[in-house]
Chains A and B, each alone.
Chain A
Amino acid sequence: MPAISFQSVSKAYPSPRNPQSGTFLALDNVSLDIEPGEFFGLLGPNGAGKTTLITILAGLAKATSGRVSVLGSDVQTDFAAARRKLGVVPQELVFDPFFNVREALRFQSGYFGVKHNDAWIDELLESLGLTDKAHVNMRALSGGMKRRVLVGLALVHKPPVIVLDEPTAGVDVELRQTLWAFIAKLNKQGSTVLLTTHYLEEAEALCGRIAMLKQGRVVALDSTSALLKAASGNVLQFKIDSELPPSLKTGARITGRVVQYPATDALAIERYLAAAREAGLELHDIEIRRADLEDVFLEVMKQHARIDPTVQQVAA
């Protein structure tokens, strides 16, 4: 039995351009199974449908068609059982200003009917570095501390399936390390983890399998190692001080001063270097590295760049 199962899930919203007569397909027939114990990454550009998929999984939104289940429990017809098995860390930094950290955790535990949970709450506070903030009102916490509490709230009923929707967006390195160490420990103990993130190096380091979404469709689904192997192999990377000539921009990934080219073999590398020399560019910090998940992601997104946008507009 999969930990999470999406079967032919579609979600249509009224079209923002024409709410009366059209719909916008945020998810288009997504099918995906995540097995128990997996650390699964869900990647995609903004608006790809990642958060929509998670809101449907969490019961915050209803799929237009298709079925979603958590460890065999349908999120609509058997929502209580499904939600008991699921812990969701929402993307938005939200909190209840009336209560302190320990109270918030106790309330959330109580909503799930978990009694005498103080030992686990203490462990959560300790693991998330919140012990000294237990009696601090939520309003008085920094953004990073509030994010830790969100993680604690999602885990307070000990769910076997954990969903993290961009949990490290805008948080410091220390929290990231604390958070990933804790989540990795839970994963080793058997918890299933579904992660969405824009930090691809995190996904590469943590996720055993990855799905990539674009315009509501799954455009890649494989183990992280297989995705990396399927990539073009190597990347030529250097820094320049001047503007890259237009003739050299084809195929290049430019981030500030850093220029990167996918390079399948030595000949391709030589060709790029020769062209740069001819253009009179002064190159610094030249390196040839293995393609990483970011390279794979960009390649996959480029391959699927020509999804017909009219397909996304379905007449009501």
Chain B
Amino acid sequence: MTGWQMLFYKEVMRFWRVVGQTVGGPVLTAMLYLLIFGHALESHVKVYDQVSYTAFLVPGLAMMSLLQNAFANSSSSLIASKVMGNLVFLLLTPLSSWHWFVAYVGASVFRGLVVAVCVFAVSAFFTEFSFVAPVWIVVFALMGATLMGALGLIAGLHSEKFEQLAAFQNFIVMPMTFLSGVFYSIHSLPPFWQKVSHLNPFFYMIDGFRYGFFGVSDVSPWLSLGVVGVTLLVVSAAAAYLLRIGYRIRS
């Protein structure tokens, strides 16, 4: 194993050691959403023809879990290492900022995908879903997880206390994922909020991802791909830059 591969492995082992908390917890939360919203709204809401509300809900919940957990992995690992002081072991190594980026984001992507696959596996007991365009599913899952892993790096580097990271999660990540069309089609919103939703990159990640399952979406998957791609590049570049200058980790 090379240096960055070892760091990737260590980051995977870090969340795997507490798999009940890092994978089991998010899957249970997603299932509770599915049970409560699915049962409550199944007979009242029809988003797409031929698609039940529960089936509509599953890809959104899986993507939401993927995004939140990819973010949580890199951000919590970094902040914990900073607070505990053990980040010094990494800072003393010859690993470059690029190695850090690949290892931390790679582990975030891995955790996001594990959580999403588990959400689908458990959801299969409740509903059936199709895979109309699997390539779109894979592309949006990978891009979304990478974007959120990189965003988690930025949040972890910027935060110096757990409270700061919690604020990042509670006031940015959580509202943006909830207001991205996980539980509804944005066409059901008033025009103003539809426009607001179009400014939310999380909406495009979930809409593009959902297109892969049903072949229908609120906006063109190509538009979603463009928005997510540009956001991914901007966020990744920012994270890579902050790592390169040692933002809040080297003085």
Contact = CB atoms under 8 A, between A and B. Distances in A.
Contacts of B251: 13, 55, 60-62
Given A103-B13, A112-B3, A112-B94, 15 more contacts: A13-B251, A60-B251, A80-B94, A83-B92, A83-B93, A92-B85, A95-B84, A97-B84, A98-B13, A110-B3, A110-B5, A111-B3, A111-B6, A111-B7, A113-B2
Q: Report the interface size class on chain A.
A: 20 to 34
Interface in A83-117: 83-84, 86, 88, 90, 92, 94-99, 103, 107-108, 110-113, 115
Interface of A: 13, 55, 58-62, 79-81, 83-84, 86, 88, 90, 92, 94-99, 103, 107-108, 110-113, 115, 153-154
Q: Report the interface size class on chain B.
A: 20 to 34
24 contacts: A55-B251, A60-B250, A61-B250, A62-B246, A81-B94, A86-B92, A90-B88, A92-B88, A94-B85, A94-B88, A96-B81, A96-B89, A97-B84, A98-B13, A99-B13, A108-B89, A110-B1, A110-B7, A110-B10, A111-B6, A111-B7, A111-B90, A112-B93, A113-B2
Interface centre among B2, B81, B94, by most A CB within 10 Å? B94
A79 B94 contact: yes
B91 interface: yes
Contacts of B17: 98
B63 to A, nearest CB: 28
Interface of B: 1-3, 5-7, 9-10, 13-14, 17, 81, 84-86, 88-96, 246, 250-251
Interface centre among A81, A96, A111, by most B CB within 10 Å? A111
B84 A94 contact: yes
A88 B88 CA distance: 10
A245 B11 CA distance: 64
A154 B91 CA distance: 12
Nearest to B4: A111
Contacts, number: 77
B6 A107 contact: yes
Contacts of B89: 94, 96, 108, 111, 153
Interface centre among B2, B3, B81, B246, by most A CB within 10 Å? B3
Contacts of A58: 91-92
Contacts of B84: 94-97
Nearest to B2: A113
Contacts of A60: 88, 91-92, 250-251
Contact of A88 (B7, B14, B90, B92): B92
A84 B92 contact: no
Contacts of B3: 110-113
Given A96-B84, A97-B84, A111 B250 contact: no
Contacts of B14: 98
B1 A115 contact: yes
Given A110-B1, A111-B7, A94 B86 contact: yes
A225 B103 CA distance: 50
A94 B92 CA distance: 13
A239 to B, nearest CB: 42
Contacts of B246: 62
B85 A59 contact: no
A83 B94 CA distance: 6
Nearest to A110: B6
Contacts of B9: 110
Contacts of A83: 92-94
B106 to A, nearest CB: 15
Contacts of B7: 107, 110-111
Contacts of B81: 96
Given A96-B84, A111-B7, A153-B89, A80 B250 contact: no
A95 B9 CA distance: 18
A151 to B, nearest CB: 13
Contacts of A88: 92
Nearest to B90: A111
A211 to B, nearest CB: 22
Contacts of B93: 83, 108, 111-112
